[in-house]
Chain A
């Protein structure tokens, strides 16, 4: 259970990205976070694994206060939280298998890294995870040689190496075409259903949220505008979230 209490983030330049947000997210839920650009979706996700330090408020994960953890404790918490990114954030020059293996680093002795050593168990797991996202045959290519959809699947495999209990996905399909988007979303759905991983996924398109999410949270200017079932978002709600002029488009 992830509990967010009165979370506020004010950036150094004075921009208030999150304004007193409180949420409860039970284990195993697939939550879509929607909203316009700049509504605070990315900031919210990054506060959860503290890539961004919140200004005020608390985040409790199974009773553990993430906001109060020190660097070493934070590292141990992050190991259990996978994250995938809009720009995939792979090391483009490195091989796919190495990119996947880096997901395991939090569990390894840093001295191993000096020798570029990974235990054989981890190498097997990496190949198995690549198999799971359907690109085992690409394992020894450079990441830059893969297509966008494949790169995002490498990102998922990397996150899987952490054996995460929670997966944060920051606009995972915003850089992909509609068909590839669905394939990536399907893998996230699979992890949610098969492994019981809680998924928090920020999305631009409401249609994707309708298809995959158990619950939709809409942010607007850093506050929660809507929190409920996808089917409850009607035209009026939609305009509240996206503004008067918005028209819903769908990803087919």
Chain B
């Protein structure tokens, strides 16, 4: 049986609970005053009137309109009855519209009764004051607070207006006008409706393009952000350091040599070297298929001939890859222009019959497709040099890796530590120099350099702790928490030191970024800030590498996972509206800015959702495929991809749904689509037109909501 605690303890606990509730209530209620919750403002008569009017107009959207002609009848009015004879009232006319005013003379402030006869029943009208000179103005009908009048079912109206105070009007003859708008044409969709439909189509396509652009990028990133796939990826530290050391050289060589090849391929594809391309295309095709069809065969690292074959195959693959990419880009540019002129060549001069309409639609389709592949080709054309650099870095790392990996593997313990120190110094300098190059661009980014240095430093300190105290039992709780605390202290210490050394505070406090003036160092021209960071990396890398040795495991997967996750989370936390603001500055007001903002946010959001799906898959098939000797890539294609396709489709539909909603408001910051129109209408207080846009948004969003739910249910 459970023993009840002593009564004093129970009372204390009850007191604590009460105290906690009281504190919680206090914090919560503070929120009410912070958010200005207030009962008096909404009760003010003018505000209630305004909100009623705004709501009434919003809920009376100007969907339809009808052409109207204005029928005006007037009757003279003398200001100051003593100034002369009062004008005669109009004579009643059978079947014709006319008005009678009573009295026909008076002073400003007097009330005039206006009676109208024989106007079109139920039509809209207003009473206008027509002065002797100048503009006529509508008068408020007394007792209604508005100028607009609805003529009764018999075509008549009676109401009172006040004589306006116009200086110097005494003695003048003014007139009271009765202006009726009479419908004179068919009811049709209003100009607003047409505009809203046009903008709505733009909006839906913005969402579609943003979603489709984000899918491939998010899908690739999601693999790096999935912990279960990345955690097992570990490589020997020595290989990692060799790869990092080779990255800059590989990038340089790649962008130089492969870049030239790629540029050539783009020119080839885009038809600028038409003669050569006729010969080269089949050659490249043969090369590509030969490389692709060579099966792996037996790999044996101790056989130099096999090593050479492997390197040759790798280089051929890289060359084939850059040629194919470049050709695709060039063909895209060429095809884009070609298709657009093809479409123009048969586009009918004018669209009158169904036949010409169909031909015109076909031309539009072909031209649009040409536009799209032209842009995609242009994108490759733009990025061919960076792509070459990446491929070059990859190729050089792999080639040299094939030679050094076996060497590093059989290195003795002492050699591995010495090599670790040397390679660590080199790769540490390269990593921190690269980080510093990014960090130089903004104050907040300058925090990254000390942060990365601190991560390495913390690792070194906790390894040192490990080594020095390895005699004591490592499994005790005290020992492990000691290691953790020492690690954190080391991290903090290195952070502060590097922060000071690189003078990061200056950027943070004054916003003054490090100088970009370069100084000469060996054969490099670099800003001193980057050299300082490289020096920090050199020292930390040398110590860390020597301590760890080339045999140590580098948790490459965890590092990639953390980088990807951090980037995705940071991007996801920024609303597309804010991104839209930046993109509007870059590409101008319009749907393109909106598409870019939505794409960026969708990449982050889908990347996260996708990766969470990967983390919930059945790992059995992955284990089974690894056991058959499949590569990482093959395991992903055959064990992971089939499992994630249904949830990927579901989440993509969901995201499209969200993107349509987002793109309806991204126009508020200039991102194009229906939001731009809505924003203008609201600023001009044209609530009836805004009502059409709001209605359209409501209809489209609910249809899509339903459709995406239905599709998700089907694939789920």
Contact = CB atoms under 8 A, between A and B. Distances in A.
Interface of A: 14, 49, 51, 70, 72-73, 75-79, 81-83, 85, 87-94, 98, 102-114, 116, 155, 158-159, 161-162, 168
Nearest to B644: A93
B345 interface: no
A242 B374 CA distance: 72
A109 B620 contact: no
Nearest to A108: B295
Contact of A85 (B624, B637, B643): B624
A111 B629 CA distance: 15
Contacts, number: 107
A113 B637 contact: yes
A125 B614 CA distance: 32
Given A76-B299, A109-B295, A111-B292, A158 B624 contact: yes
A73 B299 CA distance: 8
Contacts of A105: 625, 628-631, 634, 638
A3 B631 CA distance: 26
Nearest to B639: A91
Of B620, B627, B629, the most chain A CB neighbours within 10 A belong to: B627
Given A70-B409, A107-B295, A91 B627 contact: no
B183 interface: no
Of A77, A89, A159, the most chain B CB neighbours within 10 A belong to: A89
Contacts of A73: 299, 301
Interface in B465-489: 475
Interface string B24-58: 00000000000000000000000000000000000
Nearest to A86: B620
B405 interface: yes
A157 to B, nearest CB: 12
Contact of B643 (A91, A161, A168): A91
A109 B296 contact: yes
Contacts of A98: 638
A212 to B, nearest CB: 22
A11 B643 CA distance: 29
B509 interface: no
Contacts of B301: 70, 72-73
B642 A79 contact: no
Interface of B: 292-296, 298-299, 301, 405, 409, 475, 618, 620-621, 623-631, 633-634, 637-639, 642-643, 645-646
A103 B639 CA distance: 12
23 contacts: A14-B475, A73-B301, A75-B629, A76-B298, A76-B299, A82-B628, A83-B628, A89-B623, A90-B624, A93-B642, A94-B642, A102-B624, A102-B625, A102-B628, A102-B630, A102-B638, A105-B630, A105-B634, A108-B296, A109-B292, A110-B634, A155-B624, A161-B628
A49 B301 CA distance: 20
Of B292, B624, B643, the most chain A CB neighbours within 10 A belong to: B624
Of B405, B634, B643, the most chain A CB neighbours within 10 A belong to: B634
Contact of A162 (B292, B294, B475, B629): B629
A114 to B, nearest CB: 7
A72 B299 contact: yes
A182 B497 CA distance: 69
Nearest to B405: A70
Nearest to B640: A91
Contact of B629 (A87, A106, A116, A158): A106
Of A76, A98, A106, A155, the most chain B CB neighbours within 10 A belong to: A106
Of B299, B620, B645, the most chain A CB neighbours within 10 A belong to: B620
Contacts of B629: 75-79, 105-107, 162
Contacts of A161: 628
Q: Give the top 3 A-B pairs by smallest Cβ distance, nearest first.
A: A106-B629, A89-B620, A79-B629
Contacts of B637: 113-114, 116
A106 B292 contact: no
A161 B628 CA distance: 9
Contacts of B296: 107-110
B621 A91 contact: yes
A41 B626 CA distance: 19
Contacts of B295: 107-109
B463 to A, nearest CB: 18
B625 to A, nearest CB: 6
Given A78-B629, A81-B627, A87-B620, A113 B638 contact: yes
Contacts of A159: 628
A24 B116 CA distance: 116
Given A93-B642, A109-B294, A111-B292, A103 B633 contact: no
B633 A85 contact: no
Contact of B638 (A87, A89, A91, A109): A91
A172 to B, nearest CB: 13
Contacts of A89: 620-621, 623-624
B61 to A, nearest CB: 47
Contacts of B626: 51, 78
Given A91-B642, A91-B643, A108-B295, A113 B634 contact: yes
B404 to A, nearest CB: 13
Contacts of B292: 109, 111-112
B243 to A, nearest CB: 15
B638 A51 contact: no
Given A51-B623, A92-B618, A110-B296, 12 more contacts: A77-B629, A82-B627, A82-B628, A89-B623, A90-B620, A91-B621, A102-B638, A102-B639, A107-B295, A108-B295, A108-B296, A111-B292
B132 to A, nearest CB: 87
A201 B299 CA distance: 30
Contacts of B638: 91, 94, 98, 102, 105, 113
A82 B626 CA distance: 11
A68 B496 CA distance: 42
Contacts of A88: 620
A92 B639 CA distance: 10
Given A14-B475, A85-B620, A162 B642 contact: no
A49 to B, nearest CB: 5
Contacts of A93: 642-643, 645-646
B627 A49 contact: yes
Of B618, B621, B646, the most chain A CB neighbours within 10 A belong to: B621
A8 to B, nearest CB: 16
Contact of B293 (A78, A106, A109, A113): A109
A78 B627 contact: yes
A247 B497 CA distance: 68
B628 A79 contact: yes
B618 to A, nearest CB: 8
A78 B626 CA distance: 8
B434 to A, nearest CB: 27
Contacts of A109: 292-296
A107 to B, nearest CB: 7
Contacts of A87: 620
B52 to A, nearest CB: 57
Contacts of A83: 624, 627-628
B333 to A, nearest CB: 25
B298 A75 contact: no
B621 A90 contact: yes
Contacts of A103: 628
Contacts of B299: 72-73, 76
A78 B631 CA distance: 11
Contact of B631 (A51, A81, A110): A110
